[in-house]
């Protein structure tokens, strides 16, 4: 998957799939109602820790409070 940011008075994120599986995942993501949630503290997702970032996922699933202590991880 290729990722690019575009800055032109605003910010856009472009995800460009490299294969059919990634293309199918993007299409599925576009079909569901999504939230975009900022990771402010360490979050544990699929055996990997993310200290900061953004999660784009199904509405309501990741919308809970993530403002706990930085040393704590949450399983998503």
State how far the Cα of 30 lies from the Cα of 12, in Å rounded to an integer: 16
Cβ proximity of 72 and 58 under 8 Å: no
- Could you tell me if 10 and 39 lie in one domain? no
Q: Which domain holds residue 41?
A: 33-76
- Could you tell me if 38 and 26 lie in one domain? no
State how far the Cα of 76 lies from the Cα of 68, in Å rounded to an integer: 14
Tokens found for residue 37: 């949630």
- Could you tell me if 14 and 48 lie in one domain? no
Model confidence over 16-71: pLDDT tens digits? Answer: 999 999 999 999 999 999 999 888 888 888 889 999 998 898 888 765 544 444 43
């Amino acid at each position: 998957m290729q990722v690019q940011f575009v800055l032109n008075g605003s910010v856009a994120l472009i995800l460009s799939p490299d294969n059919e599986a990634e293309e199918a995942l993007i299409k599925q993501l576009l079909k569901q109602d999504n939230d975009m949630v900022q990771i402010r503290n360490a979050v544990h997702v699929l055996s990997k820790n993310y200290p900061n970032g953004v999660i784009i996922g199904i509405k309501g699933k990741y919308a809970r409070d993530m403002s706990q202590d930085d040393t704590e991880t949450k399983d998503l």
